[in-house]
Amino acid sequence: MSRAKLRLCLSALFVFTLVIGVMGASASPAFASALYLRQFGSVGGGNGQFHGPWGVAVDSAGNVYVADVGNARVEKFSGIGTFMGAWPIYNPSGSPWEVAVDHLGNVWVADLWNNYVEEFTSAGVEIQEWDGSASGSQYALNGPAGMAFDPSGNIYVVSSNDGYVKEYTSAGAFIRQWDGTSSGQAFTYGGIWGIATDSSGNVYTFDNGLSRVAEFTGTGGYIRQWGSAGTGNGQFNNAWDIAVDSHNMVYVADSANCRVQEFTPTGAYVGQWGSQGSGNGQFTPSVEGWGPGGLFVSSSGNAYVSDYGGNRIEEFMVGPAVNTPASSDWSLALLAIIGLGVAALVTRQVRAEDSI
């Protein structure tokens, strides 16, 4: 084979390899744009340690609050995981399952077992507690599991054990409740768990019993739903918490599948991150089979996920700041185009040499 023909063959092989690479990248499963940053915490009862961390919330200053379930307390950290303090909930035999921060910077805690919520200052000084019964016993909380706020500062609480989302004023006065029947299927008792609101005031719930995300207006009007049971893209297995970022992207802590899944505001699957294990970016199943529990995405685009079985908090960067598979595909496509141009030039040179 002449040297010219050899160059032509090598060029063709180069272009072929690039094209196959692009096709492979396009056909590969999607994954969310998430970059592992750091982790903090370990098992125990000391400062910065956890015994089953669940709820996570971040205030406007970037401080992180964690519901330390087994130690019946709330712990406070800086945005990079430096321990800043801790305080017990009112009833030490309770279960501080979820935490949330309101527009004033006060910290709210849902006590799952004792059926009330507590409000604290950011330094842990208790302000109030209530169980929702001030407006009548029929409006009392029963297994408060998730919390979120509306644009006016009113609070939505998932009353898991009786299958309602209940809205109250910050002082505990009942406003309204809904049971999900407007979606065609009522919330399941003990299944409805996670709740989050978007920038428009719409409410997203996650029902573990139905393996679905359901979106409602702020007054309970049904908008849409998505999800089913399983391990595939957009499916869930013992998922619990849900979060919405500043771009209204929706994230679900898919616990038994040891991953976090990301969706558009209308429920289109975007991707996922995480796997089973104890390494960076992985989630450790507990004896109950739960991996990621609580989930919160800060205004800066950092996702904090409680690794319930691993007794730690993991932080990820999510959103537009992180490269996505789509951008990688475009890069490969550009390389392929460049390769085609190079091949054309080489071919022209070969033909010129063969004509001599």
Distances (CA, A) of 53 to 121, 294, 350: 20, 8, 67
Query: Among 100-109, 159-168, 198-207, 345-354, which is the least confidently predicted range?
Result: 345-354
Helix axes 3-27, 325-354, angle to 10 degrees: 160
Going by pLDDT thresholds of 50, 70 and 90, the confidence category of residue 354 is low
Three-state secondary structure of 49-79:
CECCEEEEEECCCCCEEEEECCCCEEEEECC
Going by pLDDT thresholds of 50, 70 and 90, the confidence category of residue 320 is low
pLDDT at residue 2 is higher than 60: no
Going by pLDDT thresholds of 50, 70 and 90, the confidence category of residue 28 is very low
Alpha-carbon gap, residue 168 to 177, rounded angstroms: 9
pLDDT at 32: 55
pLDDT at residue 150 is higher than 50: yes
Ramachandran bin of 322, using left for φ above 0, alpha for ψ from -120 to 50, beta for the remaining angles: beta
Alpha-carbon gap, residue 101 to 105, rounded angstroms: 6
Segment 11-21 mean pLDDT: 40
pLDDT at residue 337 is higher than 80: no
Q: Please give the full DSSP string across 201-230, using - where no structure is assigned.
A: S-EEEEETTTTEEEEE-TTS-EEEEE-EES
H or E segment at 108?
strand 107-111
pLDDT at residue 172 is higher than 60: yes
Distances (CA, A) of 88 to 95, 128, 313: 11, 14, 19
Is 109 strand, coil or helix?
strand
pLDDT at 220: 97
Give the angle subtended at the CA of 338 by the CAs of 336 and 342, to the nearest 5°.
115
pLDDT at 9: 43
pLDDT at 322: 59
Ramachandran bin of 88, using left for φ above 0, alpha for ψ from -120 to 50, beta for the remaining angles: beta
pLDDT at 350: 42
Alpha-carbon gap, residue 227 to 201, rounded angstroms: 22
pLDDT at 286: 85
Q: Are 202 and 154 in contact (CB under 8 A)?
A: no
- Residues of the chain by 3-state class (helix, strand, coil), percent to 5: 20, 40, 45
pLDDT at 341: 53
Give the pTM: 0.82
pLDDT at residue 285 is higher than 70: yes
Alpha-carbon gap, residue 315 to 310, rounded angstroms: 14
pLDDT tens, position by position, 68-104: 999 999 999 999 999 999 999 988 888 999 999 999 9
Per the model's pLDDT, the better-predicted residue between 18 and 3 turns out to be 3
Burial of 231 (0-12, 13-18, 19+ CB in 10 A): exposed
Compute the CA torsion angle 209, 99, 243, 28 (nearest 10 deg): -80
pLDDT at 92: 84
Going by pLDDT thresholds of 50, 70 and 90, the confidence category of residue 36 is very high
Is 126 strand, coil or helix?
strand
Segment 329-342 mean pLDDT: 45
Amino acid letter, 276: Q
Segment 213-232 mean pLDDT: 97
pLDDT at 263: 97
Going by pLDDT thresholds of 50, 70 and 90, the confidence category of residue 7 is very low
- For the chain, the straight-line distance linking the first and the last C-alpha, in angstroms and rounded, comes to 17
What percent of the chain stands above pLDDT 90? 76
Query: Among 12-21, 89-98, 292-301, 302-311, which is the least confidently predicted range?
Result: 12-21
Segment 168-186 mean pLDDT: 95
- Across the chain, mean pLDDT equals 86
